[in-house]
């Protein structure tokens, strides 16, 4: 899947597919980092960045740009997909803004400091000391096993956007199975109400049009087509107001837990669905946090669909917008993890619980605690950022107790932000009171599954390791159990489903997440090798698992 480094195309797809304007410019060329050349948007630790300098905790990026001739509207916005962990941004030596977090997009209005007719100097000073008060995920300065090479500084697109004085700043779509409510926020620069016009394309080629002035419109769709993994239908629409206009899309789908014949089940569009998932770390051999090009996300997604899976658990990482757009258009459900912060103990948080020695653990952090404030803020921003994507059907708050605090309060917090999706408060163990699932991680053994009142979700399992020497890019082998070849790996996966998962669907097991999409550095428990060059399992047998799952659902 990876292209030769000399020939790869730069990231060039519109960076924000759900609010797509015509006047923009991507600024990924001509950068230096600490006076050494670097290829943005790839992080400096990656091969694709082609960076040869030292990487310390302070990173100073420099680039120049001129505004395109078609930037004829009044205002210029500067966007960053993500910068890890904190950064200050300057235009022509004038400070324009600060950001903290590392995984989410942010922007600044640079109209007052940008030169419209001459070259501009863009400087970004990033600080990345892997402070554990901030989200940091699987990054470590000492990679090995289930911990990976860190990334620093700019690791997503940098781009400009041209907008008028009054422009839409936020779009929100709320849907059910036959209606969509479209809400808008805008920066009102004059004391007059804005008039908006929305044009929604219908499958037959016709168009529904509505004008409104209150920032909200509701459409009832004739002959509604519901979004599913098998038929991921997207409705395209265009919004215009004054000089501002943009394209977007929505989909009609619902996700909920419903009682079906006395058993609580996860239902997509009111029909029971099995969350047949794979753990997706979002790591790539040459780019670490990014693949060589956006279309590589499509390939990963399609590879998993071709093995019969319908869901990716996006594990402790937030991807560029394009990933979620690809899941929307290709029909892949996403369970989105929040990015962990706080300290981690392998013995306490993973090793002992994995072999069944679990103790309830849920610390309390005061509301003035810095880590709590940052985690809550990043959780809120993550949900707002992903709210409009139909592929996202659930959130994971805490994984295996790592950074876990006040999980019942956090469940209420997330539900208040988004009541339309499911929530796994405590994935794996250390469950408290509130959760939409009973969530378990099961490695090393097969066991009889007992379903209580809530749907039982096996949020991690499998992880069997198979070495491919020609496509191994780590230092030591890491995984669960050892397989001798592709047939052995495939048979172990089949056995796991046949003995543990399939017999329990009727009783209320709602899904499972196999570990994982691909090998990652030392980890060799992927369905694909780290470079995505080799599928390590027999596809026909995995497709048979998916077929048997559907048969079980049909018999409910």
In tens digits, the chain (556 residues) has pLDDT values of 444 444 555 788 999 999 999 999 999 999 999 999 999 999 999 999 999 999 999 999 999 999 999 999 999 999 999 999 999 999 999 999 999 999 999 999 999 999 999 999 999 999 999 999 999 999 999 999 999 999 999 999 999 999 999 999 999 999 999 999 999 998 876 666 778 999 999 999 999 999 988 778 999 999 999 999 999 999 999 999 889 999 999 999 999 999 999 999 999 999 999 999 999 999 999 999 999 999 999 999 999 999 999 999 999 999 999 999 999 999 999 999 999 999 888 888 888 887 777 777 789 999 999 999 999 999 999 999 999 999 999 999 999 999 999 999 999 999 999 999 999 999 999 999 999 999 999 998 898 999 999 999 999 999 999 999 999 999 999 999 899 999 999 999 999 999 999 999 999 999 999 999 999 999 999 999 999 999 999 999 999 999 999 999 999 8
**Of 52, 28, 39, 31, nearest to 6 (Cα)?**
39
Contacts of 383 by beta carbon, 8 Å cutoff, 6+ apart: 395, 414, 417, 418
User: pTM for this one?
Assistant: 0.96
Omega into 516 within 30° of 0, i.e. cis? Answer: yes
d(CA 166, CA 242): 8
User: 418: closest CA among 384, 389, 463?
Assistant: 384
For residues 459 and 457, give the distance between their C-alpha atoms in angstroms, rounded to a whole number.
6
Contact call for residues 38 and 184 (beta carbons, < 8 A): no
Question: Which tokens is 476 given?
Answer: 């030591």
Choose among 422, 447, 443: nearest CA to 510. 422
C-alpha to C-alpha distance for 430 and 452, rounded to whole angstroms = 16
Q: According to DSSP H, which parts of 470-515 are helical?
A: 486-496
Tokens of 82: 């993500």
> Starting from the edge strand earliest in sequence, which strands make up the sheet with 179-186, in order?
168-175, 179-186, 216-220
Q: Residue 217 is encoded by which pair of tokens?
A: 């419109």
Q: Which of 262, 146, 250 is nearest to 520 (CA)?
A: 146
Closest CA to 443 of 423, 429, 422: 429
Domains belonging to the chain, first-starting first, are: 24-162 (2.60.120.260), 168-250 (2.60.40.10), 255-554 (3.20.20.80)
- Distance of alpha carbon 231 from alpha carbon 258, whole angstroms: 22
Query: Which of 181, 162, 341 shows the shortest CA–CA distance to 246?
Result: 162
Q: Please report which residue ranges of 355-398 form alpha helices under DSSP H.
A: 370-386
């Amino acid at each position: 899947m990876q292209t030769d480094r000399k020939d790869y195309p730069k990231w060039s797809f519109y960076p924000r597919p759900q609010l797509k304007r015509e006047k923009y410019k991507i600024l990924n060329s001509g950068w230096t980092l600490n006076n050494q050349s670097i290829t943005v948007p790839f992080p400096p630790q990656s091969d694709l960045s082609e960076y040869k300098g030292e990487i310390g905790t302070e990173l100073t990026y420099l680039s120049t740009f001129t505004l395109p001739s078609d930037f004829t509207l009044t205002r210029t916005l500067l966007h960053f997909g993500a910068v890890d962990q904190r950064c200050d941004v300057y235009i022509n030596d004038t400070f324009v803004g600060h950001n903290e977090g590392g995984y989410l997009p942010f922007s600044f209005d640079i109209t007052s400091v940008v030169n419209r007719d001459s070259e501009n100097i863009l400087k970004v000073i990033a600080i990345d000391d892997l402070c554990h008060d901030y989200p940091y995920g699987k990054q470590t300065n000492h990679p090995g096993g289930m911990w990976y090479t860190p990334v620093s500084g700019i690791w997503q697109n940098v781009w400009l956007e041209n907008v008028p004085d009054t422009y839409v700043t936020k779009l929100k779509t709320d849907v059910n199975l036959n209606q969509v409510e479209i809400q808008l926020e805008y920066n009102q620069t004059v004391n007059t109400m804005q008039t908006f016009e929305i044009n929604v394309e219908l499958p037959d080629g016709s168009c529904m049009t509505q004008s409104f002035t209150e920032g909200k419109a509701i459409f009832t769709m004739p002959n509604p087509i519901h979004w599913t993994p098998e038929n991921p239908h997207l409705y395209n629409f265009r919004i215009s107001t004054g000089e501002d206009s943009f394209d977007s899309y929505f989909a009609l789908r619902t996700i909920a837990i419903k009682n079906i014949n006395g058993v609580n089940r996860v239902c997509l569009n009111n029909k029971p669905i099995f969350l047949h998932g794979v753990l997706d770390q979002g790591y790539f051999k040459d780019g670490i946090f990014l693949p060589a090009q956006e279309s590589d996300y499509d390939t990963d997604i399609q590879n998993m669909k071709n093995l019969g899976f319908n869901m990716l658990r996006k594990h402790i990482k937030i991807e560029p917008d394009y990933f979620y757009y690809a899941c929307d258009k290709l029909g892949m459900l996403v369970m989105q993890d929040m990015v962990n912060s706080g300290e981690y103990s392998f013995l306490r948080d993973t090793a002992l619980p994995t072999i069944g020695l679990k103790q309830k653990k849920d610390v309390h952090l005061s509301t003035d605690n810095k880590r709590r404030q940052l985690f809550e803020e990043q959780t809120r921003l993550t949900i707002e950022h992903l709210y409009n994507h139909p592929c996202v059907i659930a959130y994971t708050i805490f994984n295996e107790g790592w950074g876990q605090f006040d999980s019942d309060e956090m469940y209420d917090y997330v539900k208040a932000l988004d009541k339309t999706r499911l929530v796994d408060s405590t994935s794996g163990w250390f469950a408290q009171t509130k959760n939409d699932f009973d969530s378990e991680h099961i490695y090393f053994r097969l066991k009889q599954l007992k379903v209580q009142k809530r749907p039982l979700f096996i949020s991690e399992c499998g992880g069997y390791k198979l070495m491919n020497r020609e496509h191994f890019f780590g230092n030591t082998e890491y995984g669960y159990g050892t397989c001798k070849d592709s047939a052995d790996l495939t048979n172990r996966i089949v056995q796991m489903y046949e003995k543990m998962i399939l017999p329990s669907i009727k009783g209320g097991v709602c899904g499972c997440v196999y570990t994982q999409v691909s090998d990652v550095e030392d980890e060799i428990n992927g369905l694909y090798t780290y470079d995505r060059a080799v599928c390590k399992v027999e596809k026909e047998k995995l497709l048979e698992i998916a077929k048997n799952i559907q048969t079980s659902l049909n018999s409910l």
